Amino acid sequence: MAVGPGTLPTFFPVAGVKLGIGSAGIKKPGRKDLVVIELAPGSRVAGIFTRNQFCAAPVHIARRHLASDAPRYLLINTGNANAGTGAQGMKDAQACCQALADLAGVAAGAILPFSTGVIGEPLPVSKIADALPQALADVSESHWAEAATGIMTTDTRPKGATRQIQLDGHRVSISGISKGAGMIRPNMATMLGFIATDAHIAPEVLSSLASELGEKSFNRITIDGDTSTNDACMLIASGQYGGPEINFDSPCLPELRAALQEVFLELAHAIVRDGEGATKFVTIEVSRARSVQEALDVAYTVAHSPLVKTALFASDPNWGRILAAVGRAGVEELDLDALEIWLGDVCLVRNGGRAEDYSESRGQAVMDGEEITIHIDLRRGEVMERVWTCDFSHDYVTINAEYRT
């Protein structure tokens, strides 16, 4: 169950980036659960990671390798998170890096590892090592769609986005994939995202773009409020597009940023649309707040309310649940008579109570749709923020109750 068609695009190949898929049988025999991404020499990588203090062993290793070496390969396995595994988990993640490094003829520090799946189980290093030759033999610039499938866990469908633009007469390609359906509430979700471009981007610009775009996309989605141990979003620039290095002063930077932003948002939204058991894609807008934090506090309080989320699943315009969530969001000196709450184009709350022109039938018409916007106008500042979420259905409980069986 998911919202919208969810069909993969025809990906534009990214020069200098190849993807290969293998089957290690980590959780299920025969399943494509191992992805290798090969980067051309000179490629640059920046990223953001989970802020969960129990972050997984591959997160520690990837951070360390990203800071100390020039990445040449990304190694992704599903079915096992290698989180909550202590010192042995660190050794196992490093062993997988070494196994790939030996096969590829690079230093182990040039490998960035990523894992997703069940927490607390030992990583099956031998299975991964045995499948690496298969994945390496499969690498191709055209394997984005296959890789999107290879990184799935409880996802019901693969997720991808792609763009092509012209910068100063040079064609630039951008392609990306993501995974995630539950345990999603970034501070960087169990989610992974990999976006690559063949643009030649200065390191400090690449790092800035990864943080800025990730903050406004992957860090604005939530399925259930659970920040995972394994989240990561990586932005890769292979530098193969044939043009000059793009720095902060480059006139083409705004156009590149805009195209990257579209890809980041599309991939983040795809996770919400495929939220475990999701039947609704919900945008929560908070406007005229005094600060970004205030706006996000209100938005996330509404987004995480089980009562709001179950009403969304039932297509029930129970606006009192939204009002109650706003009221407990911790906004100091909130002027109840000034604020307004809207469901689509229907005003629910005005002057401290139900809007005089509200009717149940108008609210129901909005709730019956697959895509819904809840807008809260605080009328106390100039800041506006958006958060994207979904409903809670019976299937969400079933999927997570049966996750390990």
Q: Is 151 exposed, middle or buried (0-12, 13-18, 19+ CB in 10 A)?
A: buried
Written in H, E and C, the secondary structure of the chain is CCCCCCCCCCCCCCCCEEEEEECCCCCCCCCCCEEEEEECCCCEEEEEECCCCCCCHHHHHHHHHHHHCCCCEEEEEEEECCCCCHHHHHHHHHHHHHHHHHHHCCCHHHEEEEEEEECCCCCCHHHHHHHHHHHHHCCECCCHHHHHHHCCCCCCCCEEEEEEEEECCEEEEEEEEEECCCCCCCCCCCCEEEEEECCCECHHHHHHHHHHHHHCCHHHECCCCCCCCCCEEEEEECCCCCCCCECCCCCCHHHHHHHHHHHHHHHHHHHHHCCCCCCCEEEEEEEEECCHHHHHHHHHHHHHCHHHHHHHHCCCCCHHHHHHHHHCCCCCCCCCCCCEEEECCEEEEECCEECCCCCHHHHHHHHCCCEEEEEEECCCCCEEEEEEEECCCHHHHHHHHCCCC
Structure tokens at 150: 């290879």
Q: Which of 153, 162, 190, 279 is catalytic?
A: 190
Is 373 marked active-site?
no
Tokens 């109650």 map to which residue? Answer: 324
Rg (the chain; Cα; Å): 22
Distance CA 23, CA 29 (A): 8
Any idea which residues carry the catalytic annotation?
190
